[in-house]
Amino acid sequence: MSILSGKNILLGISAGIAAYKTASLVRLLIRAGAQVQVVMTPASKDFITPLTLSTLSRNPVYSTFVDEEDENATWNNHVELGIWADLMLIAPATANTMSKMANGVCDNLLLATYLSAKCPVYFAPAMDLDMYKHPSTLRSLDILKRYGNIVIPATSGELASGLVGKGRMAEPEDMVLFIEKDIINNLPLKGKKVLITAGPTYEAIDPVRFIGNHSSGKMGFEIAKAAANLGADVCLISGPTSQSINHSLVSVVNVTSAEDMYIAVHDNFKNVDIAILAAAVADYKPIVVAKDKIKKKDSTLSLELEKTKDILASLGEIKTNQFLVGFALETNNELENAKAKLKNKNLDLIVLNSLNDKGAGFKSDTNKVTLINKNDEVKTYDLKSKEQVAQDLLNEIIKQLDE
């Protein structure tokens, strides 16, 4: 999954021959999982049709403040467009449009939207060689960069005039890659390695049966996705679950038993900055696992169980600079038990959730958590989606790491 997945992207198109490339650009952004809204200058419609871009973006294309052919038309609100966007990309950015952007000229909907944008703005210059080298263009480039806009550099190649040189707009694939890399490089967990465990473990009784629990793995998978979206390189170690994840920054290690998870976690722990153990690991396992399926002969069946290895405690004993996070699912004396676990297992943060809270715990899309750090500071959150809980948790971890 691309870092652009779920992003709202405003694509501004100005009047240059390179506008023909925006059809491929829109398709690539949609394929990356983004929502795309196109705003064109009126003159750019001479180079590519709004119908093409509307079809590819699955949204209406805006080019004027009102549709003059529709007497009942409403105003195309440039302020709302600017607020909606997570990022804005102006491609191609002609010399004319760049000059207007640099000087605050606002004579069309695209420029009004640019001036209203609250998000990062990328622009991809496209023009002929001599225009690109002109001092006024170089001045516009410098001003726009000083404003905080991000330039996607023009490349060298054959230009519309037949000349060969710099001024060619970057190819759509390269623009998408540039934006993805730029976003990742500025994310708060960029360069951090994060280990996350998720799901249940299954402890075999015989080749057919096992001891398990009701964990779906959803909480751990949401944490993994949120960490990756913040730029982290994530190792997700998961017990048996129907959950799945497709993200370029997440590698998944599938395990079955508590022993499998113990080994996988210890194989990876020394190389990580943050470890978040959200898995519901079995506390006990059968001492003897039958080689053949146990036949149903007697009215009762007795199993002798032994403790599994305490993965979280074992990490607390060997951690050096890792930030270690555990989970505590409690049914009584919740806060006291969670604080004791935090201290006894040498954690930096513990996530408490109670089965007494409706909508929290296993098999739910929501969770209600309390975060407790090693300084005994307690933060209680309302019932939220597990996606939001994951974001709250990572925000708290980032805050703790920055202190």
d(C-alpha 227, C-alpha 231), whole Å? 7
Name the token pair of 40: 């064109």
Q: Does 213 participate in catalysis according to the annotation?
A: yes
- Distance (Å, rounded) from C-alpha 332 to C-alpha 341? 14
Q: Does residue 390 contact residue 245 with C-beta atoms inside 8 Å?
A: no
Distance CA 281, CA 284 (A): 9
Per-residue tokens: 311: 């993965």
Whether the CB-CB separation of 342 and 372 falls below 8 Å is answered with yes
Among candidate residues 8, 77, 213, 346, the one labeled active-site is 213
DSSP bridge pairs for 39: 12, 62
Strand ranges (E), 331-377: 349-354, 366-367, 369-373
Distances (CA, A) of 205 to 120, 212, 311: 56, 10, 21
**Contact (Cβ atoms closer than 8 angstroms) between residue 86 and residue 7:** yes
ω into 92 cis (within 30 of 0): yes
Catalytic residue list: 213
